[in-house]
Amino acid sequence: MQSLTHRRRRGAPSAVDMEERSLIDEGDTILNKKAVYEPSNSQRCRQLVCSRSWAVTILIVMGLFLVLIAIIASFARPQTLPCTPLNTVTEAVTTPTPKAPTYIATNGKEFPWKDIRLPKSIIPESYNILMHPNISQSTFKGRVIIKVRATAPADFVVFHIKELNITHFDVTSLKDGEPIHTMEYLEYKESQQFYIKLGRSLEVDEEAEVTVKFEALLVNKLVGFYKSSYTTSSGEKRDIATTHFEPTDARAAFPCFDEPELKANFTLNIVRDKQHISLFNMPLKKTEQYENTGLLLDYYDTSVKMSTYLVAFVVCDFANISKTTSDGVKVSVYAPRELISQAHFALDGAVSVLEYYNSFFGVKYPLPKQDLIAIPDFAAGAMENWGLITYRMTAILYDPKVSSLGNKQWVATVVAHELAHQWFGNLVTMEWWDDLWLNEGFASYVEYIGADQINPDFHMHDQFVTEDLLSAMYLDSMSNSHPIHVPVDNPDEINEIFDRISYSKGGSVLRMLRNILGQSKFKAGLTHYLTIHKYNNAHTDDLWSALQDANPNLHVDIKAVMDTWTKQMGYPVVTVKQTGTLLSLTQGRFLLNAAHTNDAVPSSDYKYKWYIPLTLVTSADNETHQLTWMNMSSAETTVPPNIKWIKANSGMNGFYRVNYDTANWQHLIKQLMDNHKVFTAADRAGLIDDAFNLARAGLVSQKIALDLTLYLEKEVEYVPWKAALDNLAYIEDRIIYKEVFTSFKAYMLKLISNRLAALQWTDSGSHLEMFLQSNILSWAVKLGHQPSIDKGKQLFKQWVQDHASISPDLKNVVYMTGVKYGTEEDWKACWKVYEETNVPSEKQKMLVAMSYSTDTRLLNQYLGFSLNKSKVRSQDTERVITSIAANPSGQLLAWRFVQQNWDIFSDRYKEGSFGMSHLIKGVASHFSTQFDYDEVHNFFATRDAGSGTRAVKQSLEKIQMNIDWLEKNEGEVTDWLNQHSS
């Protein structure tokens, strides 16, 4: 599944149109148990007793007056509890203690099965599903016949249901064809389980059929089997029914054994109206009239053996375009008829990638067809259902006349990501969700290979450093991170790990391993892994074994090495010290906020030490990459005499940071100033990111980090600029209300002046040059560069008044400028386009652009719109709110809005993978004062954030880091900026 990842900095939209990849890290739901702090006046009043004594009366009046003052004070900041400052991040949030499971069924009886995991005594072998959705009435009913087999003597069956009303069930033995008497049935909602007590035990290997009839609501909730809609150009609303099951919502569509290990074959028959079509994982076999109702019944081929979360079916009225691969696989893209013209790029890319992956993985794609479908309401970026991949519209539709290169790249990477899952995740599936990274880490790495296959001009491998490696390292440098392989049980915990650790860190450590082994050995291991585990499940250790077995002469213990990267959170910083020709290398865990980490941080069996494949180059041999293994310890190596500098982690292939002695940092800075091209673009980005993060952690001075940026006046490549601007944006956010901000603006304008003059407002250049152009122009506008503001306003005015076209790759900055420095009428012009355009990428640009307004009244109105489903789709609500929160004018408004509407958000995001985590991080992590820390802490202390719990902890940790940064670094940064601003 492709999550939506926000990588857009406040006020500076990335040239990759990162409004398409919202702050990701990660998928979330929430179960809200809200406790409200609200003093009751009526209770106090009833306690008052009139006395005959005037003195007592006066005392009472005075007491009431004091109480009134207390009440007013308590509500001075909405929904805030009394502040209790905390000293450590790990104490930052006190989550309400969850109630111990009671195991009481809906009828009040004790539920016999007391485990969130299903028993393995009876397992499914096949499902025969009949679905009958009534889209106009927002209901569905169905019947499922589950063929099961006993692996041990068992006199009960337990399976999953969620919000389904079971109207009938029976159990029949396939040994003799006789019904098995059922003694009792119970439902336990907390575990989403249904229990049937049998009149006799099934024998080992005895097969039976469990038949269940059910009904439920078909509502727009973005998970399970749900209703979505779109509007035609004539204003007609069209409804469709679609599915999204990962990780645990197949049970909301039909009764099933909803765990990835319990694979089975699936056969679907589905009822539909004549104006609709239906789609399933497998090809359509035949269509018949359905019971003289005027409806049609579609019969589908039986699927290959797969997990429940990969099942998908859709009923819609979409059009399609198709092509066939060289291997005979029919590839089709489905979308509303008026949008199908925007599907050609995705179709061509899917055919190209599918053919390439067949060769790359060494295992053929096993299905006869591959459908890709655009879904109007969709929580994630896309979902890899085998043979029927569902997409958010912005992730699959591309109009070259309207959409930007960033939109184009986004479609390519999501298509490549989901097709990679057809092997990693679908053909071979993790046994349980604690190995989610086997799915998402692989797809996150391989998507870069696939997207480069679609268009080599994307230079995806260069972008991996800034888009995945460095962003994952930032999250993993927090004490509230988690290991790649992490124990999870309930759906909240499962949803919580759909984040940058599972995706981007997972992809980064695989990239590091590929660099260790080499491409041919790495591919041989992957082919072996897929071949021996196809149609089955695997653990992380199975991958390591396959890679080792495929390369018998390898002198690396892959499991020993990789366990240190997957089974403990965090990563190392390697300190390099030179004495003549001798280098001493030491390692320690890197934490951004080590001073506020205490004993509550989980211990590690590896004591936070790693097997590190340290590579380095020197000024004497900068074409040679020397490898030294640090085997969970320090190490030594030698370098040529009289070298000027050392650069470790060459190519940024390793998941670690590097620190040097001051002299080497100074030599690196000088080399950048003299000839920065000695280093690759990835190494330049790495040096900048390492220095700024080491400075934040207090391991080097802020001066070293800032001195590294001086050479940027000569930098022309996107990747180093992206790393630098992201880090400088952090400083900007801390000092934006300080006097020194004037010096910061002057320095930044000086820094970007050469690029600004070279790029101008043109639409020519390479792919990455256009990305850099958008970033530089956005910064110029944000920093108050008047010529850029005037040009942006001019283009915006021409667009509004004369309908003049804007280069797709300049739209972000033009729209931002027009709204930020415009009027209410300008804002309304954007809203009109948002309502009327039929290009999904343009809608998303408008959603973000309107958040740049400095008019707080408009921002408050826009926040209100975000909860109105007739104005803003539910899938886009958190995008609107977090975009406003990233605007200095809207930061506090957005936080207040979430506080005031917490019950609504709690209910809306208790289902789905991403919304709550994004929302919490987006509105709560910008603050930089103890007052705000206390308010965020106290607000969540009495509220169950469900799968957003980790997001709360991480947000509080970020606020604490912001506070500490100002306390420790403001003076040094102020002095440096004042010195270099002219």
Q: How far apart are CA 880 and CA 873, in angstroms?
A: 10
Q: How far apart are CA 127 and CA 416, in angstroms?
A: 30
Q: How far apart are CA 301 and CA 268, in angstroms?
A: 8
Q: Which of 17-21, 154-158, 584-588, 881-885 has the lowest mean pLDDT?
A: 17-21
Mean pLDDT on 18-31? 29
Is pLDDT of 695 > 70?
A: yes
The residue ranking higher by pLDDT, 81 or 58, is 58
Which pLDDT band holds residue 506 (cuts at 50, 70, 90)?
very high
Q: How far is CA 702 from the centre of its chain?
A: 31
Mean pLDDT on 805-822? 96
Please provide the distance, in angstroms rounded to a whole number, between the alpha carbons at the two ends of the chain.
48
| Positions marked active-site | 418
Is pLDDT of 39 > 50?
A: no
| pLDDT of amino acid 637 | 95
Q: Where are the domains of the chain?
A: 41-74
Is pLDDT of 509 > 50?
A: yes
Angle between helices 824-836 and 786-802 (to 10 degrees): 50
Specify burial of residue 544 (Cβ count, 10 A radius: 0-12, 13-18, 19+): buried
Mean pLDDT on 410-425? 98
Is pLDDT of 8 > 60?
A: no
Q: How far apart are CA 320 and CA 976, in angstroms?
A: 59
Q: The tokens 């009481």 sit on which residue?
A: 104
Which pLDDT band holds residue 788 (cuts at 50, 70, 90)?
very high
* Residue pLDDT, tens place only, 369-408: 999 999 999 989 999 999 999 999 999 999 999 999 999 9
The residue ranking higher by pLDDT, 35 or 704, is 704
| pLDDT of amino acid 489 | 86
Mean pLDDT on 785-800? 96
Q: How far apart are CA 734 and CA 972, in angstroms?
A: 13
Q: How far apart are CA 382 and CA 542, in angstroms?
A: 27
Q: How far apart are CA 331 and CA 353, in angstroms?
A: 11
Is pLDDT of 50 > 50?
A: no
Residue type, position 694, single letter: L
C-alpha angle with apex 938: 933 to 943, nearest 5 degrees?
130
Q: Which of 323-327, 545-549, 717-721, 905-909 has the lowest mean pLDDT?
A: 905-909
How are beta strands 330-335 and 313-316 bridged, if at all?
A: unpaired
| pLDDT of amino acid 93 | 41
| pLDDT of amino acid 382 | 97
Q: Residue 203: enclosing H or E segment and its boundaries?
A: none
Rounded to the nearest 5°, which phi and psi values hold at 24?
Answer: -65, 70
The residue ranking higher by pLDDT, 555 or 473, is 473
Phi-psi map region of 163: left, alpha, beta (phi>0 left; psi -120 to 50 alpha): left
How are beta strands 265-272 and 657-660 bridged, if at all?
A: unpaired
* Residue pLDDT, tens place only, 461-471: 999 999 999 99
- The first and second tokens of residue 104, run together, are 């009481």
* Residue pLDDT, tens place only, 919-929: 999 999 999 99
| pLDDT of amino acid 595 | 72
- What are the angstrom distances between the C-alpha of 976 and each of 663, 703, 740, 741, 754? 19, 7, 10, 12, 21
The dihedral built from the CA positions of residue 876, 878, 883 and 889, taken in this order, carries a sign that is positive
Comparing CA positions, the residue from 415, 353, 409, 412 lying closest to residue 383 is 415
Q: How far apart are CA 31 and CA 20, in angstroms?
A: 27
Q: The tokens 């499940």 sit on which residue?
A: 537
Q: How far apart are CA 570 and CA 473, in angstroms?
A: 8
- What are the angstrom distances between the C-alpha of 65 and each of 39, 41, 82, 187? 14, 12, 20, 53
Is pLDDT of 264 > 90?
A: yes
Which pLDDT band holds residue 597 (cuts at 50, 70, 90)?
low
Q: Which of 75-79, 866-870, 880-884 has the lowest mean pLDDT?
A: 75-79
Is pLDDT of 15 > 80?
A: no
- What are the angstrom distances between the C-alpha of 903 and each of 31, 82, 503, 526, 531? 10, 21, 30, 46, 48
SS3 680: coil
Q: How far apart are CA 818 and CA 795, in angstroms?
A: 8
C-alpha angle with apex 452: 466 to 473, nearest 5 degrees?
20
| pLDDT of amino acid 721 | 98
CB 538, CB 428: distance < 8 Å: yes
Is pLDDT of 108 > 50?
A: yes
Which pLDDT band holds residue 55 (cuts at 50, 70, 90)?
very low
* Residue pLDDT, tens place only, 949-977: 899 999 999 999 999 999 999 999 999 99
Which pLDDT band holds residue 98 (cuts at 50, 70, 90)?
low
Rounded to the nearest 5°, which phi and psi values hold at 163?
Answer: 55, 30
Mean pLDDT on 110-117? 96
- The first and second tokens of residue 76, run together, are 């001075």
Which pLDDT band holds residue 4 (cuts at 50, 70, 90)?
low
Q: How far apart are CA 351 and CA 330, in angstroms?
A: 9
Which pLDDT band holds residue 912 (cuts at 50, 70, 90)?
low
Specify burial of residue 698 (Cβ count, 10 A radius: 0-12, 13-18, 19+): middle
- The first and second tokens of residue 758, run together, are 């070279």
Q: Where are the beta strands (DSSP E) in 652-775?
A: 657-660
